[in-house]
């Protein structure tokens, strides 16, 4: 009997979480003994992320190439992608602002999962190891494989689970909701565009801004935090962006429905209406069953336990 993805998919990001924990010791060792530390660190990142993914796809007979969605997307979706980018930037600012008060600024420090204590004047190596490789490998794992594995449960559960797994990878209670929000935005972008490229570009931009502007952004938020106007302004902009996003998504699905109607006419509309009604009834009946199947999966609970141990610095 073939296991469901809700059982065996958590094993993948659980293994990656464990490897991320061990990677800190490996990076420290490489930093002491290697003449080309940047090359060794890049290899470690590939071993932590890509090797488990390749092994997982081989064991469960998953098409690695098609799951990654390395394909172009319609330019009609570019305005929606830009709205999601603005939503991420403003939402991140809101989370960082309130993080100052609830976590005493700890939330302002949001490094990647694999911390690399190596610095160099070589700008190319810095961009490669700190920005490009983490963005590419994390998107392959979470918005490529994990999102695709939960796609059978629908967009809501697929995006949510991939975002939760992404947040747990970084093993931080203070930054959990920041990474959860990031995962939700990037997952939604991948689902809507049906391509991994936009999420990779957004992730790369996030890494670039954090690496070169983190101190400046932190100082500005701390100073602006004394003003009562900033939180209201950020929340107002966030609400406007959400309205814009929902409006664009409505237009996107309306255009898709219009194209389908032109292709298949009345017969397709009848079939879709019947299928949607049937799926709506089934989804309503099976909603709590789906919740139990995904989040009470033994392997998923084990991953949550690993996250708690890592966040408490026990593991």
Contact 276, 141 (CB under 8 A): no
For residue 35, being part of any structural domain is answered with yes
In a domain, 280, yes or no: no
Query: Is residue 215 included in any domain, yes or no?
Result: yes
Confidence bin at 1 (pLDDT 50/70/90): very low
H helices of the chain, in order, are 5-33, 37-59, 64-68, 78-103, 123-127, 133-139, 147-149, 155-169, 176-193, 197-224, 229-295, 298-311
Q: Kindly state whether residue 87 falls inside one of the protein's structural domains.
A: yes
Please count the structural domains in the chain. 1
In a domain, 305, yes or no: yes
Domain presence at residue 278: no
pLDDT tens digit sequence for 21-64: 887 677 666 666 656 667 777 778 888 888 898 888 888 887 77
Please indicate whether residue 72 or residue 269 has the higher confidence score (pLDDT): 72
pLDDT of residue 187: 92
Max mean pLDDT range (143-152, 210-219, 289-298): 143-152
Structure tokens belonging to residue 208: 């670039």
| pLDDT, tens only, 189-221 | 998 888 888 899 899 988 888 777 766 666 666
Q: Which domain holds residue 248?
A: 5-252+298-311
> Looking at the domain assignment, is residue 288 inside a domain?
no
**pTM of the shown model:** 0.79
Residue of 227 and 70 predicted with greater confidence: 70
């Amino acid at each position: 009997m073939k296991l469901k993805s809700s059982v065996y998919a958590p094993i993948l990001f659980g293994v990656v979480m464990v490897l991320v924990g061990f990677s800190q010791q490996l990076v420290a060792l490489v930093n002491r003994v290697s003449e080309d530390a940047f090359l060794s660190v890049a290899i470690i990142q590939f071993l932590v992320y890509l090797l488990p993914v390749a092994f997982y796809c081989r064991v469960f007979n998953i098409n690695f190439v098609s799951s990654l969605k390395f394909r172009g997307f319609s330019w009609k979706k570019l305005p929606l992608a830009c709205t999601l980018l603005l939503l991420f930037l403003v939402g991140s600012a809101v989370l960082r602002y309130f993080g100052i008060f609830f976590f005493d600024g700890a939330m302002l420090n949001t490094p990647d999962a694999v911390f690399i204590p190596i610095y160099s004047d070589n700008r190319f190596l810095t961009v490669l190891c700190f920005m490009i490789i983490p963005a590419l490998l994390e998107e392959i794992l979470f918005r490529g494989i994990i999102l695709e594995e939960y796609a059978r449960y629908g967009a809501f559960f697929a995006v949510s689970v991939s975002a939760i797994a992404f947040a747990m990878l970084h093993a931080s209670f203070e930054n959990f909701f920041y990474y959860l929000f990031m995962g939700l935005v990037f997952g939604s972008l991948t689902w809507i565009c049906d391509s991994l490229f936009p999420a990779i570009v957004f992730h790369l931009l996030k890494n670039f801004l954090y690496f070169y502007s983190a101190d400046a952004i932190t100082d500005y938020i701390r100073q602006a935090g004394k003003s009562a106007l900033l939180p209201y302004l950020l929340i107002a902009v966030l609400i406007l962006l959400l309205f814009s996003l929902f409006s664009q998504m409505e237009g996107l699905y309306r255009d898709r429905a219009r194209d389908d109607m032109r292709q298949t006419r009345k017969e397709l509309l009848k079939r879709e209406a019947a299928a949607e009604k049937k799926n709506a009834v089934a989804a309503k009946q099976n909603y709590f069953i789906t919740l139990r199947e995904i989040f009470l999966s033994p392997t998923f609970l084990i991953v949550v336990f690993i996250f708690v141990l890592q966040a408490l610095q026990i593991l």
